[in-house]
Structure 1
């Protein structure tokens, strides 16, 4: 009999978009494994919120730029889901963890470029590779890109380039993992009011107004605008959506 328990692993799930993704997934009846890098207390708060929804959750520390830790990390995850849920595998991987660096192309340093590469692309690439051993057939991967791969704003050349690579990677994952019936899609959020990038979108009134004015729906995005789309992609309603880039921006810069 098919196992009805569904589990999603959300990286960077202690705050911002990752937190909202985890909560929305829980509302769909999916149990959660969330990772955090430094803020254990915030991660515990998310766990408590998920439990109030009626789902179960586990948190595990992870630095997505520490590639050598991935084997140990998934060993821990496997043990925890076995003891907590009685299963050996997860169903969905949400590659949300990331950072932002704003620097003009001419001023971007090698260190900044390497940091973005390690976190935004190499980390996602290798973590997903490592996850394949515990990802159920018929499961799914959701990667996170940005609207900045469609249009250009000053200061995001390195960040957006890494995200363009993620969009290409998503297609190859969908192609090569299709024999296991694993779908891979990528969402591209618009500017969102979170503490990402120092909270500039949320706290800089000039930037906030500029974004709202350039968005068809007339406002800046909120975390709640994003998590439900990720959750949808992790349901049978999205079973025929594969290798797609879905922009979630309210119609910014159209």
Structure 2
């Protein structure tokens, strides 16, 4: 059985990724930060479908905790699957925060940087000894880092996600010697809990987004989750170093 680690899988896109991978027969180690109930829900859905999942706490913005997390991963691999390696890493955990450029404080900038760029960089480095040769990594980036998704107020967020796109290419280059593929997906506006449930709190913004989306609706978590599961699968074995926009044709 192949094993995947999916960060930030207590809700939204990460939850969908974990469930979609499990439905393909992949064992899942999923992480949560502050939403343990959501993580338990994800595990319950996977269990109900006949899959196997383990939930572990992780603050992606705290690199000091990564070594201990690796030990927890090693224990879960050993105890649940009798493995000492895993096959797939999905760097999905993150958060969104809007601030116009002139209003962006160093604190906001640094927090976004720690969670969205520094975290995935050093978490991947920390877990690399446990990642099997021939495996694959997918990073969740954002259309905010692409021309189609440039919207006022996301300069810091988009900058970090853009950095993650570049990191994806470098990892694909350097890890290719081990047969490890590395890609990223850039979701458009998706109905998740991001930015403190922004779509639930401000439903009036949805029609405007839908009007600018070629396929005529807001994205759903499974629209992204199924793409990530496919990218990690055998059918995408010849794809690496790509950033794939998954937005339904936003601003097309």
Band of TM-score, shorter chain? over 0.9
1:121-136 alignment to 2 at 5 Å?
121-136=117-132
Question: Residue 98 of structure 1: SS of its match in structure 2?
Answer: coil
1:11 matches 2:7: yes
Q: Does structure 2 retain, via aligned residues, the 8 Å contact 1:98–1:119? A: yes
1:64 matches 2:60: yes
Question: Residue 209 of structure 1: SS of its match in structure 2?
Answer: helix
Aligned residue in 2 for 1:79: 75
1:106 matches 2:102: yes
> Matched residues in 1 for 2:44 and 2:197: separation?
25
* 5+ residue gaps, structure 2: none
Aligned residue in 2 for 1:193: 191
The alpha carbon displacement at 1:203 in A equals 4.1
1:211-243 deviation line (CA, Å, top 9, x unaligned): 100000011101111100000011111100100
* 5+ residue gaps, structure 1: none
The alpha carbon displacement at 1:201 in A equals 3.2
1:48 matches 2:44: yes
Aligned residue in 2 for 1:163: 161
Change (3 A) 1:202 1:251: farther
Aligned residue in 2 for 1:214: 212
Q: RMSD of aligned C-alpha atoms?
A: 0.9
The alpha carbon displacement at 1:248 in A equals 0.3
Change (3 A) 1:237 1:202: farther
Give the paired residue count: 250
Question: Residue 182 of structure 2: SS of its match in structure 1?
Answer: strand
1:28 matches 2:5: no
Q: Does structure 2 retain, via aligned residues, the 8 Å contact 1:191–1:201? A: no
1:69-92 deviation line (CA, Å, top 9, x unaligned): 111101111011111101001100
> Matched residues in 2 for 1:235 and 1:10: separation?
15
Choose the corresponding residue for 2:239, options 238, 241, 244. 241
> Matched residues in 2 for 1:208 and 1:67: separation?
36
Aligned residue in 2 for 1:140: 136
1:182 matches 2:184: no
